[in-house]
Structure 1
Amino acid sequence: VGSCLDLRIVLIGGRRGSKRSKSSTGNLILGQNVFDTSSRTAQSTARQREVHGRLVTVVDTPGWLWEYSREETSELDQIEIQNSVHLCPPGPHAFLLVIPVEFNFPRIFKLSLKEHLELFNADVLKHTIVLFTAFTPIREENIQHYIKKYPTVQTQVLELFRKIEELVTNNLNNPYSVDETQGIILTQKLQSFVENASRRRNKVLKKRQKLRAQIEGMLQTSSGCNGSQNSWFGSCHGFRVTVRIIFRNLKKKKNQQKL
């Protein structure tokens, strides 16, 4: 393979349904199950390994929904996608735009792609290779076993490296240019998201503790209900209704948090 001693690759692309094409592609390139394919990628993650005598860094990124415009994609996902290029300094040699080969690609998908590529600077197109994938995502099966079972996978990985080498040569060995100032700003934004999420969690926990305290207080108050005179029935009945409402509110809050 060519002259680059290392390769830095960022995987980008949309998502649709339960397919994990980008993460599975990263695992095949590195020859190990280093990216989680059991759930969607929520944050950009870099993994590194020696492959065929060279150090290869692969960055997996959150996928946007193909049906979504950039405006509809969450701000956090956009920041994570932008931050991906700062996880493989001094910058990636190539972006692999991963698209399942069976996909139809209607106009709305093309518009979505165009808008999301604008998360990067104008150099992104010069450093992008479109990679059509046609494999079933590997789940629990050991990746090394899969590669031994299908030796053509390694041949395809080597061919991909050659394509990236050609791209690097065409770009005069210059990687995608990374703005370090932007990297600092993105890190600050991500930290702000983490802090805000922590505050929201603490707020929810305090509300839950307050509701539990209310329930425990009512349980203690109602301890005399059993075997009491009929005059107690009205207050005990009211207690049961109140507890039912509180539990219903707790369940509703829990469901809202899942969303």
Structure 2
Amino acid sequence: MNNVAAANDMNRLTDDSQELRIVLLGVCGAGKSAIGNAILSQDVFEESGTRASEIQRGRVDDRNISIIDTPGFFNTQLTDEELQEQMMKSLSLAHPGPHVFLLCIKLETFEKDERNVVQQIQQNFEEEAFKYTLVLFTGREHMSNREWMVFKSNRKFQELVSHFRGQYHEINSKEEIKQSHSSKLIKKINEFVKQNGGQHYNNKSYAVSLMESRID
């Protein structure tokens, strides 16, 4: 490898380390947009009825962050094909690929929300995405410490997080999120990215479909 090529590779690594790319996932009403606003400490995402993938950027803890909001799974306002198109759009917005898929699930509606979310991620992004998915449970303030411990031993909880190597984090709901909570979430995400060696999602079949869509 010549010096120019080596320098280019180093620049790409530096760029990746400077920008953190997050794609928000979840069913309709999971609070994805609110989480995006909380992370960026700005009301940049409209918090109702997201129908198209959208990117917003900010700087948090001395790091550039790009957050891509997406329509909810099981969105009755979109056909399956339209939803898939928006998921593909989310990846193009996160080019060259997201470091984290943040799967937002409300604790109070967990029994309903956890239905088929794993299947939805697999259908839209394939199993490669599991490695880059961090489950975020919201509404932690509604549970006592004992209730939280019991919940974590629940079979459905264990089954869900097992698909994602047991990677999860909990946070309060929108009305109760404090700056310290957002900072802890960012710290968790940074640790998660570090565990993945700083790599980002880069599904080959996605790259092929993206090229084909550009040709069309």
In the superposition, the TM-score normalised over structure 2's length comes to 0.67
| Structure 2 partner of 1:157 | 182
Contact 1:96–1:129 under 8 Å retained in 2:
yes
> How far did residue 169 of structure 1 move?
1.7
Corresponding residue to 1:120 among 117, 122, 125: 125
Corresponding residue to 1:10 among 15, 19, 23: 23
- Deviations 1:74-122 (Å, cap 9, x if unpaired)? 210121023212111211110100011111325xx54521221121032
Corresponding residue to 2:197 among 165, 172, 175: 172
Once residues 33 and 50 of structure 1 are traced to their aligned partners in structure 2, the CA distance between those partners, rounded to angstroms, is 14
Once residues 64 and 51 of structure 1 are traced to their aligned partners in structure 2, the CA distance between those partners, rounded to angstroms, is 28
Gaps of 5+ in 2: 1-15, 140-171
Corresponding residue to 1:35 among 32, 36, 45: 45
Change (3 A) 1:187 1:10: farther
Contact 1:26–1:60 under 8 Å retained in 2:
yes
Once residues 169 and 52 of structure 1 are traced to their aligned partners in structure 2, the CA distance between those partners, rounded to angstroms, is 16
Larger Rg: 1
Once residues 105 and 23 of structure 1 are traced to their aligned partners in structure 2, the CA distance between those partners, rounded to angstroms, is 21
Contact 2:138–2:173 under 8 Å retained in 1:
no
> How far did residue 184 of structure 1 move?
3.3
> How far did residue 126 of structure 1 move?
0.8
| Structure 2 partner of 1:48 | 57
Letter paired with 2:39? I
Q: Where do 1:75-94 residues align within 5 Å?
A: 75-94=81-100
Question: Is 2:80 aligned against 1:74?
Answer: yes
Gaps of 5+ in 1: 139-149, 190-259
Alignment RMSD (CA, Å): 2.7
In the superposition, the TM-score normalised over structure 1's length comes to 0.57
Letter paired with 1:122? E
Count of residue pairs brought into register by the alignment: 165
Q: Secondary structure at the match of 1:86?
A: helix
Q: Where do 1:131-142 residues align within 5 Å?
A: 131-134=136-139, 137=174
Change (3 A) 1:98 1:24: same
Contact 1:91–1:177 under 8 Å retained in 2:
yes
Contact 2:30–2:105 under 8 Å retained in 1:
no
Q: Where do 1:169-248 residues align within 5 Å?
A: 169-178=194-203, 179-186=206-213
Letter paired with 1:180? A
Contact 1:20–1:40 under 8 Å retained in 2:
no
Contact 1:64–1:73 under 8 Å retained in 2:
no
Once residues 107 and 35 of structure 2 are traced to their aligned partners in structure 1, the CA distance between those partners, rounded to angstroms, is 13
Contact 1:83–1:186 under 8 Å retained in 2:
no
Change (3 A) 1:47 1:91: same
Change (3 A) 1:14 1:73: farther
